[in-house]
């Protein structure tokens, strides 16, 4: 969805198959401006559908309050999740709830999308327009916020092993767009969406052999997933359940640089690296907070989060018994005169002949729970002793 990838000569490319030539003609014919086709009534009807479908991913949108109160501004995201794009729809769901269906926001979409029957019309009515500098500039000049995914299909179908990497593919068109129009850039970082699909390869070589560059398609990805196993991304596979998080980052303002900065490659590159660095830093934070989106979503679906089981720290965390409950158990044991010794280990000195060696299990349990032996000796440490328990690593204690 990157504006500066659009070329007027795309439909005149040489090579490829007859089918791609025919499709390229359809794409070119479908690229009419159509910037006023957004349908608030459709979006209102779409809200409950979005709510139901997004339940599968249990999405969270963080930092929504960082968005400027009104446009124009440019929302720049890392593209994830293939055709499903759960983070995009989660953000749109949040927008519709917080700002309402009458508050417009537009997204720049793939050219090929608008050539498809029904789907192209649906995309326009939900606020998507073909990606071009002209369309994006017209929307910004009209005072509207615009969403752009500079990495395009290369970012959307990066391999699963690169799911924690922001890949804007070196494209700086959105930087020049923001500088020329003097609008802030709001980074939007997604985590979890790319865990839902397993991309084996982008398939760039396959795309070149098929002549898909005529359609502004640079990849022919191969994905792994049920029910087909390995399949082209165009063949629907069932996405894995993954907890999706979308974070709105602090806006970046460059209005002080002036529109002439858009023609300075040094300034453009510096601004690009600033955006990329901020997005990658925020994605790293999200990964650290939730390293296993699939396990997190599954545990939530099973209701384990209700009893305190969490995967948010990078490992399975089990709930601790309340302090009051632990204290009550100890008090009952003390009142029974057992010095916190478990029922299965009542083999203290008072219950053993003097010739019987110390019980290592009893010593360890007493030390762990009370820090003191029933016989009055305080516990200092446990150390291995080959003279105990058949000469193979028993436990002995030292008295203070």
Residue 58: what pLDDT?
95
Residue 15: what pLDDT?
43
Residue 378: what pLDDT?
42
The model's pLDDT over 256-299, given as tens digits with 9 standing for 90+, comes to 999 999 999 999 999 999 999 999 999 999 999 999 999 999 98
Decide which of 319 and 124 is more confident.
124
98-112, 302-316, 345-359: the lowest-pLDDT one:
345-359
Decide which of 131 and 319 is more confident.
131
CA distances from 393 to 347, 390, 397 (A): 20, 8, 13
In contact, 245 and 191? CB cutoff 8 Å: yes
Hey, what's the torsion of the CAs at 33, 34, 40, 43, to 10 degrees?
A: -70
Beta partners for 148? 76
**What is the band of 384 on the pLDDT scale with cuts at 50, 70, 90?**
very low
Strands (E), 63-195: 74-77, 106-109, 128-130, 146-148, 185-191
**What is the band of 370 on the pLDDT scale with cuts at 50, 70, 90?**
very low
Q: Which H helix or E strand runs over 21? A: helix 18-30
Residue 80 pLDDT more than 50? yes
Answer yes or no: pTM beyond 0.75.
no
> Domain 3-305, what fold?
Glycerol-3-phosphate (1)-acyltransferase (3.40.1130)
- Alpha-carbon distance of 330 to 394, in angstroms, equals 27
Residue 398: what pLDDT?
40
91-105, 115-129, 188-202: the lowest-pLDDT one:
115-129
Residue 231 pLDDT more than 50? yes
Q: Of 7, 6, 24, which is closest to residue 15 (Cα–Cα)?
A: 24
For residues 94-104, average pLDDT: 95
Q: Of 121, 390, 373, 78, which is closest to residue 247 (Cα–Cα)?
A: 78
How many whole angstroms from its chain centre is CA 117?
31
Decide which of 341 and 174 is more confident.
174
Q: Of 164, 180, 188, 133, which is closest to residue 4 (Cα–Cα)?
A: 133
Residue 85 pLDDT more than 90? yes
Q: For the chain, which residues make up each domain, given as ranges?
A: 3-305, 323-399
Residue 26: what pLDDT?
59
Residues in CB range of 346: below 8 A, 6 or more apart: 338
């Amino acid at each position: 969805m990157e504006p500066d990838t659009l070329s007027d000569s795309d439909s005149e490319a040489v090579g490829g198959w007859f089918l791609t030539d025919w499709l390229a003609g359809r794409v070119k014919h479908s690229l009419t401006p159509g910037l006023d086709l957004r349908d608030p009534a459709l979006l209102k009807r779409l809200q409950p559908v979005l709510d139901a479908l997004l339940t599968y991913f249990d999405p969270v949108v963080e930092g929504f309050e960082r968005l400027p109160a009104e446009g124009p501004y440019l929302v720049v995201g890392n593209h994830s999740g293939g055709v499903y794009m759960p983070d995009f729809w989660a953000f749109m769901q949040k927008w519709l709830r917080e700002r309402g269906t009458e508050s417009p926001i537009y997204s720049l979409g793939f050219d090929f999308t608008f050539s498809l029957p029904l789907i192209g019309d649906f995309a326009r009515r939900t606020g998507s327009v073909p990606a071009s500098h002209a369309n994006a500039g017209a929307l910004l000049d009209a005072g509207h916020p615009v969403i752009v995914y500079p990495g395009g299909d290369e970012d959307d179908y990066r391999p699963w092993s690169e799911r924690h990497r922001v890949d804007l593919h070196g494209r700086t068109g959105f930087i020049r767009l923001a500088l020329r129009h003097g609008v802030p850039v709001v980074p939007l970082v997604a985590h979890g969406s790319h865990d839902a699909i397993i991309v084996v390869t982008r398939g760039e070589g396959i795309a070149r052999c098929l002549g898909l560059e005529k359609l502004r398609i640079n990849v022919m990805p191969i994905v792994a997933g049920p029910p087909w196993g390995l399949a082209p991304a165009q063949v629907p596979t069932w996405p894995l359940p993954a907890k999706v998080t979308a974070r709105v980052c602090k806006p970046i303002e460059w209005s002080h640089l002036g529109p002439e900065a858009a023609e300075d490659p040094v300034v453009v590159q510096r601004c690009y690296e600033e955006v990329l660095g901020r997005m990658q830093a925020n994605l790293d934070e999200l990964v650290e907070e939730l390293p296993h989106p699939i396990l997190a979503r599954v545990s939530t679906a099973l209701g384990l989060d209700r009893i305190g089981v969490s995967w948010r720290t990078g490992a399975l965390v089990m709930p601790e018994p309340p302090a009051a409950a632990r204290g009550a158990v100890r008090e009952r044991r003390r009142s029974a005169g057992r010095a916190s010794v478990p029922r299965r280990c009542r083999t203290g000195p008072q219950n053993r002949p003097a010739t019987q060696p110390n019980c290592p299990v009893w010593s360890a349990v007493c030390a762990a729970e009370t820090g003191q032996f029933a016989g009055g000796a305080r516990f200092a440490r446990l150390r291995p002793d080959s003279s105990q328990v058949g000469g193979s690593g028993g436990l002995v204690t030292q008295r203070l």
